[in-house]
Amino acid sequence: MPIAQTVTVGGVVLVLLSLDDFPVGFTVRLRLLLADGHSIAERQRHQEAEDRRQEVAQRGALEADEAEAEATFFARFLPVPEFELEARDDRGRQYRNWGGGEQWGSNLEGRAEPIFTPALDPAARELRLTVPEVQWRTVAGRETANM
CA distance 16 to 110: 12
Q: Give the model confidence (pLDDT) of 72-130 as tens digits.
A: 554 455 666 777 889 999 999 999 998 888 877 666 778 889 999 999 999 999 999 98
DSSP H helical ranges for the chain: 39-57, 66-75
Give domain limits for the chain: 2-37+78-146
pTM over 0.85, yes/no = no
Q: Give the model confidence (pLDDT) of 23-64 as tens digits.
A: 999 999 998 887 776 666 667 666 666 766 777 666 655 454
Residue 77 pLDDT = 59
CA distance 32 to 13: 6
CA distance 40 to 46: 10
CA distance 50 to 55: 9
What CATH number labels 2-37+78-146? 2.60.40.1640
Torsion over CA: 90, 94, 96, 97 (sign)? positive
